[in-house]
Amino acid sequence: MILTTTNTIEGHKVQDYLGIVTGVSIKVKKGGMTFSMEKYADSFEALLSEIKEEAFQELRKNAINLKANAIVGIKIDIEPLTSFSMIMVSITGTAVKVV
């Protein structure tokens, strides 16, 4: 599956637009007993990578369900929901069939 933030794929022609697909993942940031900015930043980065990967997997799954072989125009939105110590990643794109 081809994933791109652009609206076209060089060397490919969009044969059919199949619909908008999304992938969303939300996780709660677990706090520790001690506070270190370095440890916090490292754990936040690791958690964000995990959440993004989950959202991309859901995006791909939804596109495959539409029989797509590519997703164009991908947009990623990362929202730290600090009042709940939660992080949300939402990824949206257009599922297409390319040749």
Reported confidence tier of residue 63, pLDDT bands at 50, 70, 90: very high
> Domains in the chain, ordered, with CATH?
2-98 (3.30.110.70)
For 20-43, the pLDDT digits (tens) are 999 999 888 766 555 666 666 677
Identify the pLDDT of residue 43.
73
At 17 the three-state DSSP class reads strand
Determine the residue type at 23. Answer: G
The answer, as to whether pTM is greater than 0.75, is yes
Positive/negative CA dihedral, 27, 77, 48, 66: positive
Question: Is the predicted pLDDT of residue 57 greater than 80, yes or no?
Answer: yes
